A and B are shown apart, each in its own frame.
Chain A
Amino acid sequence: MGATALQKDRDGLCFFGQISAAISHDLKNVLAIINEDAGLLQDFSLMAAQGMELDPQRLIKLAEKVQGQVKRGDGIIKNMNRFAHSVDLPVCDVDFRELTELVISLLTRMASRKCVTVTFKEGEQVHGKGDPFTIQMLMAKGLEYAMDSAGRDGELGIEVSSADSVNAVTISGLGETLPDEQLAELESIAVKAGSESAYVPQDNILIFKF
């Protein structure tokens, strides 16, 4: 395997690892909350055994909290599964709207850490052919750099559109100018994803065309 192919594999692995780490962090938090809610139930049981009165409403609220966390965990695992299966086929039908929403969900923790709000702008259904894993990597890297550019309390929008047989994913709301090395990296991933990336600093937007 040549150096270029090795680097391509490593870029993909790094992205997979970055997303997996974020997912594992979220799941750890879900488990930690369920653990504490179960602990509270144990505490209440021990106190009841010692003659203290149990408030049924408190138990109902605790049960609802556990159910809420199970639902949250289920959503995280569903996203993880969709992301994991994105490597199944090198080229397949891609629902760009669905894929964009998935990338936004996968980057929720990053956005929270960087104090940036990412809003998906509802639009038309856009389908095309492509490598879903590499397209996700491109969108995620673009969003990451857009978050850095927008800065704390930044508000990014992301929109999917289609015109004249060209599908586009547009990230708006960027702030500071993207450095050349970030643009070069995005261009490199865009080539692998069969895409073209364009940065329009005067409009504060980043566009990926497929």
Chain B
Amino acid sequence: MKILLVDDESELVSALAERLSFRGFDADWVCSGAEAIDKVKENEYDLAVLDVKMPRMSGLELRAELNKIRSGLKYIFLSGHGSEEDYTVGAAEAECYLVKPVKIEELVDKINLALGSK
């Protein structure tokens, strides 16, 4: 399964991608919405993990753009805040919404659930 992770914190997103690759996922990572759009144009991803609050393009705005390119893509949102407002928006807009720091087992479970592979 091919996954794209997007977060403006490069150290976080690179480590998460590496840990997912150890668990059998083909995981790419980028640090901005613009890079994510390019990646999705070039690759057939099954799921994108998006940070909610990023400079230039928020996770929600990015999701709308990615949907235009690839309508079947599934989403998981990550946020540092975990405010009620974020949760409501995230829950409505994505398959799942997780608050940082994330437990890798929980992320793997949510990815499998979103992709219907468990």
Residues of chain A touching chain B, judged by Cβ–Cβ distance below 8 Å, are: 21, 24-25, 28-29, 31-37, 39-40, 43, 47, 65, 69, 112-115, 152
Contact = CB atoms under 8 A, between A and B. Distances in A.
Contacts of B8: 112
B53 interface: yes
A115 B19 contact: no
Contacts, number: 57
B56 A35 contact: no
B101 interface: yes
B2 interface: no
B15 A28 contact: no
Given A25-B81, A28-B80, A37-B11, 16 more contacts: A28-B81, A29-B9, A31-B101, A32-B9, A32-B100, A32-B101, A32-B102, A33-B12, A34-B101, A35-B102, A36-B19, A43-B19, A47-B22, A113-B53, A113-B55, A152-B56
A115 B56 contact: yes
B19 A32 contact: no
Chain B interface secondary structure, helix, strand, loop or mixed? loop
Interface of B: 8-9, 11-12, 15-16, 18-19, 22, 53, 55-56, 80-81, 100-102, 104
Contacts of A65: 11
A33 B78 CA distance: 13
B79 to A, nearest CB: 9
A31 B100 contact: yes
B30 to A, nearest CB: 16
Contacts of A31: 100-101
7 contacts: A32-B80, A32-B100, A35-B100, A39-B15, A40-B19, A65-B11, A115-B56
10 smallest CB-CB distances across A and B, nearest first, come from A28-B80, A36-B15, A35-B101, A32-B100, A32-B101, A33-B12, A25-B80, A112-B55, A33-B11, A29-B9
